[in-house]
Structure 1
Amino acid sequence: MKKPIVRLSFLTAITAFLYSCTQNETNDADSKAESQQFKIINVTHHDGKPFSTGASLSSAAGKYVDNPGGGVMMQAFYWDVPAGGTWWNTVSGKVAAWGNAGIGSIWLPPASKAQNGAFSMGYDPTDYFDFGDYNQNGSTETRFGSKTELVSLITNAHTENLKVYADIVINHNSGGQSEANPFTGTNTWTNFTGIASGKFPRTYNDFYKNSYGNNDEGAFGGFPDLCHAAPNVQNWLWLRTDGVGKYYKNTMKFDGWRFDYVKGFAPWVVHDWNANVGGFSVGEYWDANVNTLEWWANNANSSVFDFACYYKMNDAFDGNNLALLNDDMMWKRNPYKAVTFVTNHDTDEIWNKMLAYSYILTHEGYPTIFYRDYEEWLDKAKLNNLIWIHNNKATGTTSILYSDNDEYVARRNGYNGNPGLVVYINNSDVWQERWIQTNWANTQIKDFTGNSSWYPTTQADKWVKIQCPPKGYSVWSINQ
Structure 2
Amino acid sequence: MKKLKLIILYVSIVFTYSCSNDDVLTDSVKEKSVNNTSSQRAGLKPIGSGVMMQAFYWDVPAGGNWWNTVKAKVQDWSNAGIDAIWLPPVSKAQNGPFSMGYDPFDYYDFGEYDQMGSVETRFGSKTELVSLIDLAHQSGLSVIADIVINHNSGGNSEVNPYTGGSTWTDFNPLSGKFYRSATDFHPNNAHSNDSGVFGGFPDLCHNQTYVQDWLWKNSNSVAKYYRDVIGFDGWRFDYVKGFEPWVVKAWKDEVGGFSVGEYWDSNVSTLDWWTNSANASAFDFACYYKMKDAFMGNNLNALNDNMLWKQNASKAMTFVTNHDTDEIINNKILAYAYILTHEGYPTIFYKDYEEWLNKASLNNLIWIHNNLASGSTSILHVDNDEYIAKRNGNNSSGLIVYINNSDTWQERWVETNWSSTTIKDYTGHSSWQPVTQSGKWVKIQAPPKSYSVWSTL
Report the TM-score when normalising by structure 2. 0.90
Provide the secondary structure at the position in 2 that maps to 1:477.
Answer: strand
Q: Which amino acid aligns with 2:114?
A: N
- Look up the match of 2:258: 280
Q: Contact (CA 8 Å) 2:407, 2:449: kept in 1 or not?
A: yes
Q: Which amino acid aligns with 1:316?
A: A
RMSD of the alignment, in Å?
1.2
Provide the secondary structure at the position in 2 that maps to 1:80.
Answer: coil
Q: Which amino acid aligns with 2:213?
A: N
- Look up the match of 1:318: 296
Q: Contact (CA 8 Å) 2:50, 2:83: kept in 1 or not?
A: yes
* 2:409 is the alignment partner of 1:431: yes
Q: Give identity over the alignment, percent.
A: 70
| Equivalent residues, number | 416
Offset at residue 70 of structure 1 (A): 2.3
Deviations 1:64-103 (A, max 9, x none): 8559x82100000000000000000000000011011111
- Look up the match of 1:233: 211
Q: Distance in 2 between matches of 1:264 and 1:450?
A: 46
- Look up the match of 1:70: 49
- Look up the match of 1:382: 361
Deviations 1:100-150 (A, max 9, x none): 111110000000000000000000000000000111101000000000000
Q: Distance in 1 between matches of 2:278 and 2:161?
A: 33
2:245 to 261, 267, 287: 267
Q: Contact (CA 8 Å) 1:66, 1:391: kept in 2 or not?
A: no
Provide the secondary structure at the position in 1 that maps to 2:123.
Answer: coil
Q: Distance in 2 between matches of 1:320 and 1:133?
A: 50
Q: Distance in 2 between matches of 1:213 and 1:159?
A: 44
* 2:147 is the alignment partner of 1:168: yes
2:90 to 111, 120, 142: 111
Report the TM-score when normalising by structure 1. 0.85
- Look up the match of 2:440: 462
Q: Please, which runs of 5 or more residues in structure 1 have no aligned partner?
A: 1-56
Offset at residue 58 of structure 1 (A): 6.6
- Look up the match of 2:181: 203
Q: Distance in 1 between matches of 2:219 and 2:366?
A: 37
Q: Distance in 2 between matches of 1:149 and 1:414?
A: 42
Deviations 1:212-256 (A, max 9, x none): 222110000110000000111000001111000011011111000
Offset at residue 319 of structure 1 (A): 1.1
Moved over 6 A (4+): none
Q: Contact (CA 8 Å) 2:151, 2:203: kept in 1 or not?
A: yes
Q: Distance in 2 between matches of 1:101 and 1:81?
A: 23
Q: Which amino acid aligns with 2:315?
A: K
Q: Contact (CA 8 Å) 2:45, 2:142: kept in 1 or not?
A: no
- Look up the match of 1:128: 107
- Look up the match of 1:452: 430
- Look up the match of 1:98: 77
Provide the secondary structure at the position in 1 that maps to 2:259.
Answer: strand
- Look up the match of 1:215: 193
Provide the secondary structure at the position in 1 that maps to 2:206.
Answer: coil
Q: Distance in 2 between matches of 1:264 and 1:66?
A: 30
Q: Distance in 2 between matches of 1:219 and 1:239?
A: 24
Q: Which amino acid aligns with 1:75?
A: Q
Q: Which amino acid aligns with 1:116?
A: N
Q: Distance in 1 between matches of 2:74 and 2:357?
A: 19
Q: Distance in 1 between matches of 2:390 and 2:211?
A: 47
Q: Distance in 2 between matches of 1:113 and 1:310?
A: 31
Q: Which amino acid aligns with 2:108?
A: F
Q: Contact (CA 8 Å) 1:340, 1:366: kept in 2 or not?
A: yes
